Amino acid sequence: MLDSLIDAAAWVIPVMLAVILHEVAHGWMAEKYGDQTARILGRITLNPLKHIDIFGSAVIPALLIFAGSPLLFGYAKPVPVDFIRLEPPRMGMRMVAIAGPGMNIIIAFITGLLLHIEYFITPEQAPWLFLNLYRSLALNCGLAVFNMLPVLPLDGGRVLYSFLRGTPQRWFGKLEKRGILLVFAILLVAQLMGHNVVELIGKPVYWLLASILYITGNGH
């Protein structure tokens, strides 16, 4: 029982940092492009109480962890952005969207660098510390890839929306309210058709993870 609690606790720091800094990055970038909404509402802060969404930040990750899922994701309360205030609007929307996954890649890169502490202390000597680092690396790579799927309201969908014009943009925008359900429906259909969903999503995640390990000098 104690081992299970210790193992579960090793998810807390990686999950909180990944989802909170993801949202802070959105708000910070929006401010740089002229929208002060996140700043006014106190969302450009590391205070977890300002960001935690009980369902997305706790319930979903916990269920996936205890179910032994090879994929783990979660989310915080989305940072409010008034896209009308962004200047220039399309570039602003694009950069605000990219900022979240970009932050996850930065965290993963820093985590890769931190793995070099094994020169001073081994994983056997500090298993909980290294478990946090391994999970931070995998989780942030997973979040970066998942959030860049080209479906609203995910960040990749926002980037695609910023490039569209006229009728295609209006039709694509109508999918936002049901976008997450659409993502899960596509994954479910793919699974039912015999495609390995973990493999489909896992390939770009693994490529990103392997690239970061190589760049940070951890590749073999």
Question: Cβ(100)–Cβ(76) under 8 Å?
Answer: no
Query: What residues contact residue 18 under an 8 Å CB cut-off, 6+ apart?
Result: 74, 104, 107, 136, 139, 140, 143
Catalytic member of 23, 31, 87, 118 = 23
Instruction: Single out the residue of 31, 125, 43 nearest to residue 82, CA to CA.
Output: 31
Residue 23 falls in the annotated catalytic set: yes
CB burial readout 56-83, b (16+ within 10 A) else e = bbeebbeebbeeeeeebbbbbbbbebeb
Query: What residues contact residue 14 under an 8 Å CB cut-off, 6+ apart?
Result: 132, 135, 136, 139, 140
Cα-to-chain-centroid distance, residue 136: 11
Q: For 115, which DSSP code?
A: G
> Helix, strand or coil for residue 127?
helix
Distance CA(167)–CA(95), nearest Å, equals 23
Active-site annotation, residues: 23
